[in-house]
A and B are shown apart, each in its own frame.
Chain A
Amino acid sequence: MEVGSNSSLPAIPPFAKRRFTLSEKISPSVFRAQQLTKVYRVGEVIVYALRGIELELFAGEFVVILGPSGSGKSTLLNILGGLDTPSTGTVKYFDHDLSLASPAELNAFRRKHVGFVFQFYNLIPSLTALENVSLITEIADKPFAAEEALALVGLSHRQHHFPSQLSGGEQQRVAIARAIAKRPDVLLCDEPTGALDVQTGITVLETLKKVNEEQKTLTVVITHNATIAEMADRVLTMRDGALIKEERNVSKKSPVELKW
């Protein structure tokens, strides 16, 4: 449960107040978050999930947000994706203030602009791979053909299989195909390799890289696996609901070079 913005917050650690504006403005900022906080009540426990986040994300970037469990990275991702709203602060998608948007507006925002990839794939079990992708292409404005999206993730030969007939990696690639089929402006991935073995994880990451490079889609991956950060343009690190570090990779690694 969300706690009202008037509830007293513990003091924000000083590092959280730094603004991350180091990046060169090669492209317009897609997201701009200011003083984001999020407070939950889980049962009888109050959780301070985000404490004063300041953040800018740009088109075409591949961003990895690192952090241990409970650091608030999923919450941040959910707010960016319009799945959740902040308790205080603002988050803007271009000129649209998501923190002021109604549920219906958030819904439309997700529908038009956001592609999600979840740790547990969230495929509809009663639909085949192709149908899971078509589910989204049906409601999108200028989608790829579902087959094309599956081809992009290298699953053309598996399109008539049901989720239960696919391996975890394949399911996750279907989920990626589903996410990108609508040609989203942002692709948000929550621990996309979390449930996968190394080799499969690498395949999935290659798929994400390919999409990012070919479609110029802002891609945000959250993970607690620091190795993945090596393939990112930019790496943000979170702890206890705050951003504590920002790094820019001078030379990005290709997913096949990654080892964990």
Chain B
Amino acid sequence: MRMLDRKLIRDFVSMKWQLLAIVAVIACGISTFVLSTSTVASLETTRSQYYARYRFADVFCDLKRAPESVALQFAAIPEVGQYETRIDIPIRIEIPFAEKSVQGLALSLPNEGNSQLNEVHIRRGRLPDTSSSSETIVSEAFAAASGLQLGDKIQVTIYGQQYSLFVVGIALSPEFIYEIAPGGLLPDSRSFGVIWLRRSAMEGSTKLDGAFNHVSFLLARNASLPSAIEKIDSILKPYGSLGAIAREDQRSHRFVSSEMDELRNMGRVAPTIFLCVSSFLLNMVLARMISSQREQIAALTAFGFTTWEISRFFLKFAWSVAFVGAVVGLGLGFYLGLGLTEMYSRFFHFPSFTFHVPWSILLLAIVLSVGAASLAVANGIRGILLLQPAEAMRPEPPPRYGSSTLDALWQSLKLSTIPKMVMRHTWRNPKRSLMSLVGISLAVSVLILGSFMQDAIYSLFETMFSQSRKYDLQVTFLEPQDSATLHELYSIEGIMEVNLIRAVPIRARSLHRDRLLSIIAIDSKHDLSPLVDLQQQQATLPADGLLISRKLAEVLELQMGNTLTIEVLEGKRMTLDVQVSKLIDDAAGETIYINRNSLATLMQESPSATAAYLRIDKRLRQSVIRELERRPHVSHVVETADLKQSFLKTIAENVRRMRSINLFFSIIIAIGVIYSTARISIAERSRELATLRILGFTHQEVTSIVVLELAVLTLCAIPIGWAIGYGLSYMTVNAFDRELFRMPFVVSISTYAFAASVVLAAMTAASFLIYRFIGKMNFVDVLKARD
């Protein structure tokens, strides 16, 4: 083995703790980066494979009712490659052993075989027998949540009629990767399920004999999506079409995409910052470590080692550290990725989920860490190699201390010698102090970045539930109800307050932009669902005109006072022009509110309701729900408590996991940085410290010099780190400002305090190490040894 390689190995051993700290820092950066980017990449691959294999449609259209013969016209649309009609019906499902009924959706399968489009993937069991009217398959998530097994019997209510069905299969569908109820906020398989029946079994009960109310399309290759949608819309308009939607707007797809966007940003912005921070720290620590070998480098130069030979040695050194860090990081990232994948497979329902790390990410991670290490080598030895070896071999000349304006300040403070030395040293080595300052600030900032998500989620939870959902139940009707429903609801024992809601499916249009969504009409008195923005401020509903989400206004390029064109997709299918009276910065991001009476006036009908928010006497909860579900015009009842739970189980859980990973890493980074800073500071000043010991300063006094300097830097770094952390968090939140769900930007005092206390704790621990190190230092030897 070459002697320099031997030196390499021995240096590794002697610097093992410092190197461990660097490896930990770089591994943390790499693993969060690999973890999140690979998770997103894996999700994307898995989804696109799933879509391709099970022929997930490109265009979907819901409508009231169209005879099957209409479908023949689709064949004439050149953009359409394949189409399939079916029946989709909202149902209520009663599970024999559960006390409550849940909201459901029944989809028809062709009378024979599997669907041509949006094919069902049978997990267990089989498809219903051809034309069987008593067999059904249920979605896996729903089966799991409600404990359904093959052979179980379920009761379903279709338009008020009860049917008994046997579960013969448990399945997945590309339409329900994210299984969320129509109009629902979050997936909750305990309160929503999808079942499939043979079409012949559904036709009779739904009065859709020889007719369909849903159609899916796979487009021809290179077909234009807008023109396909336009042609489909024009065919189906007379049949109560709710407007054809592209895959991008399909509920599950959209939620999954949005979730992926969120993941991508949450998982890309923060880890990229982590990676950059750790690369920076790697660079800084290595560079200083190398420059502390100044005299050894000079000696090697004196013996005739070439610049390249010396650089190669340090490159090997730095690359080994970076490479070990990268490998540990990749391994850790992969391991955590498997865990995260397992978590996603709980609410993203794929037939199989494979986690893989794309080569590009692997390469990027290694290139970044090795690049940072190489840069560190360049920084560390350039200065030394530029010097004449004779000069480099002498100990570094004492820094130029002289009197400065600041000295007057130190004097006036009447500091004793040690604080004065600390102040001078800190002030007169600006580059060194700045590096430490930046390092510690970044440690503080990653701590904030790693934990602020929790603040955002708590704030969102507070806005969504405590403040804007004051109702206990939401009851949804099958058809719009007239005002008499208010009295009917109040007549049920246990219902204490009722707010009526009218939701109308519309196409909102502004110039060339349009969006299919629902307009929500509420009464001016809507105490059960106050309109609350992300800053938790209440907004009032304007008497006239629309109140729309700021995000939607941005999408539609609307401003306050503009007119929005509303195409109503039911009843008389009127087109209305309504003024935007107010914007709201809300969490949902895509809502249009209007006064219920003014909507009725606009639609030329009497005020009606499609749903109601109820405050109830909690003791009568069971009977109220039973009473509501007994009524034939009631589609389903949703409990706010369930919604809260599903929020905590899905979004909050997701963020919590991500946060704990980030937090874990940010703590390691913080400790690594502070430990390295302290060690380097000792190494760079060992002669000075030894001299002080010889001059009669005590162990404690000498320790206090280093500790005091570290403390001064840490205290200065904390506010700077807070500011950087705030900025980075803001960048992260902005990066995933999505339409379906928006994060409020909140960094709580406790997060700042937490970041500061972790750093201070790390500093205290480092101080202890410094104390021990100085205690062990043989100061006479340090003075003798020049290398």
Stretch at the interface among B6-14, B630-638, B727-735: B6-14
Cβ contacts under 8 Å, B224 to chain A? none
Tally A-B pairs: CB < 8 A: 91
Cβ contacts under 8 Å, B3 to chain A? 127, 131-132, 134-135, 138
Q: Does A60 contact B (CB under 8 A)?
A: no
Contact B786 A85 (CB under 8 A): no
Stretch at the interface among B138-146, B299-307, B332-340, B365-373: B299-307
Task: From A111, A124, A136, name the one whose CB has the most chain B CB atoms within 10 angstroms.
Answer: A124
Cβ contacts under 8 Å, A195 to chain B? 784
Q: How far apart sit A124 and B6, CA to CA, in the bound complex (Å)?
A: 11
Stretch at the interface among A25-33, A76-84, A207-215: A76-84
How far in angstroms is the closest Cβ of chain A from B118? Answer: 67
How far in angstroms is the closest Cβ of chain B from A174? Answer: 13
Q: Does A104 contact B (CB under 8 A)?
A: yes
Contact B784 A168 (CB under 8 A): yes
Q: Does A17 contact B (CB under 8 A)?
A: no
Q: Does B388 contact A (CB under 8 A)?
A: yes
Contact B304 A123 (CB under 8 A): no
Contact A122 B388 (CB under 8 A): no
Q: How far apart sit A108 and B301, CA to CA, in the bound complex (Å)?
A: 10
Stretch at the interface among A63-71, A113-121, A230-238, A251-259: A113-121
Q: Does B618 contact A (CB under 8 A)?
A: no
Q: Does A112 contact B (CB under 8 A)?
A: yes
- When C-beta atoms are compared, the residue in chain B nearest to A81 turns out to be B302
Cβ contacts under 8 Å, A121 to chain B? 786-787
A120-B786, A124-B296, A125-B787 as given contacts; A107 in contact with B2, CB under 8 Å: no
Interface residues of B in 382-417 (CB under 8 A from A): 388-391, 393, 397, 400
Interface residues of A in 144-197 (CB under 8 A from B): 163-164, 168, 178, 195
Q: Does A126 contact B (CB under 8 A)?
A: yes
Chain B 329-357, CB within 8 Å of chain A: the 1/0 string? 00000000000000000000000000000
Contact A126 B11 (CB under 8 A): yes
Contact A108 B304 (CB under 8 A): yes
Q: Does A42 contact B (CB under 8 A)?
A: yes
Interface size class of B (residues with CB under 8 A): 20 to 34
- When C-beta atoms are compared, the residue in chain A nearest to B392 turns out to be A83
Cβ contacts under 8 Å, B305 to chain A? 107, 111, 139
How far in angstroms is the closest Cβ of chain A from B300? Answer: 8
Chain A 17-47, CB within 8 Å of chain B: the 1/0 string? 0000000000000000000000000110000
Interface residue from A74, A110, A124, A132 paired with B304 (Cβ < 8 Å): A110
- When C-beta atoms are compared, the residue in chain B nearest to A134 turns out to be B3
How far in angstroms is the closest Cβ of chain B from A20? Answer: 23
Contact A126 B10 (CB under 8 A): yes
Interface residues of B in 270-317 (CB under 8 A from A): 295-296, 299, 301-307, 309
Interface size class of A (residues with CB under 8 A): 35 or more
Task: From A107, A123, A163, name the one whose CB has the most chain B CB atoms within 10 angstroms.
Answer: A107
Q: Does B785 contact A (CB under 8 A)?
A: yes
Interface residues of B in 750-787 (CB under 8 A from A): 781, 784-787
Task: From B304, B391, B785, name the one whose CB has the most chain A CB atoms within 10 angstroms.
Answer: B304
Cβ contacts under 8 Å, A122 to chain B? 295-296, 299, 302, 393, 786-787
- When C-beta atoms are compared, the residue in chain A nearest to B301 turns out to be A107
Contact A78 B787 (CB under 8 A): no
Q: How far apart sit A42 and B296, CA to CA, in the bound complex (Å)?
A: 22
Q: How far apart sit A240 and B787, CA to CA, in the bound complex (Å)?
A: 29
Q: How far apart sit A81 and B301, CA to CA, in the bound complex (Å)?
A: 12
Contact B787 A131 (CB under 8 A): no
Cβ contacts under 8 Å, A112 to chain B? 304
Q: How far apart sit A43 and B399, CA to CA, in the bound complex (Å)?
A: 9
A83-B390, A84-B390, A138-B2 as given contacts; A126 in contact with B14, CB under 8 Å: yes
Q: Does B4 contact A (CB under 8 A)?
A: yes
How far in angstroms is the closest Cβ of chain A from B28? Answer: 28
Contact A84 B304 (CB under 8 A): no
Contact B6 A127 (CB under 8 A): yes
- When C-beta atoms are compared, the residue in chain B nearest to A84 turns out to be B390
Q: How far apart sit A123 and B393, CA to CA, in the bound complex (Å)?
A: 12
Contact B784 A84 (CB under 8 A): no
Chain A 71-102, CB within 8 Å of chain B: the 1/0 string? 00011001001011100000000000000000
Q: How far apart sit A55 and B391, CA to CA, in the bound complex (Å)?
A: 23
How far in angstroms is the closest Cβ of chain B from A107? Answer: 6
Contact A126 B388 (CB under 8 A): no
Cβ contacts under 8 Å, B11 to chain A? 126
Interface residue from B4, B14, B397, B787 paired with A123 (Cβ < 8 Å): B787
Task: From A74, A83, A138, A178, name the one whose CB has the most chain B CB atoms within 10 angstroms.
Answer: A83
Cβ contacts under 8 Å, A123 to chain B? 787
Cβ contacts under 8 Å, A116 to chain B? 302-303
Cβ contacts under 8 Å, B785 to chain A? 120, 125, 163-164
- When C-beta atoms are compared, the residue in chain A nearest to B9 turns out to be A126
Contact A84 B391 (CB under 8 A): yes
Contact B787 A43 (CB under 8 A): no
Cβ contacts under 8 Å, A163 to chain B? 785
Interface residues of B in 10-37 (CB under 8 A from A): 10-11, 14
Cβ contacts under 8 Å, A132 to chain B? 3
How far in angstroms is the closest Cβ of chain B from A226? Answer: 24
Q: How far apart sit A118 and B389, CA to CA, in the bound complex (Å)?
A: 13
Contact A85 B388 (CB under 8 A): yes
Contact B7 A127 (CB under 8 A): yes
Interface residue from B390, B393, B786, B787 paired with A124 (Cβ < 8 Å): B787
Cβ contacts under 8 Å, B306 to chain A? 104, 107, 111
Cβ contacts under 8 Å, B397 to chain A? 42-43
Closest 4 CB pairs of A and B: A111-B304, A126-B10, A120-B786, A78-B390
Q: A104-B307, A120-B784 are in contact. List 10 more A-B contacts (CB 8 A).
A: A81-B302, A83-B390, A84-B391, A104-B306, A107-B304, A107-B305, A116-B302, A122-B393, A135-B3, A135-B4
Give 29 pairs: A residue, B residue, CB < 8 Å, sorted on A: A43-B397, A43-B400, A74-B390, A78-B390, A81-B302, A104-B306, A107-B301, A107-B306, A110-B302, A110-B303, A116-B303, A118-B299, A122-B787, A123-B787, A124-B787, A126-B10, A126-B14, A127-B3, A127-B7, A131-B6, A131-B7, A132-B3, A134-B3, A136-B303, A138-B3, A139-B305, A139-B309, A164-B781, A164-B785
B: residues with CB less than 8 A from A are: 2-4, 6-7, 10-11, 14, 295-296, 299, 301-307, 309, 388-391, 393, 397, 400, 781, 784-787
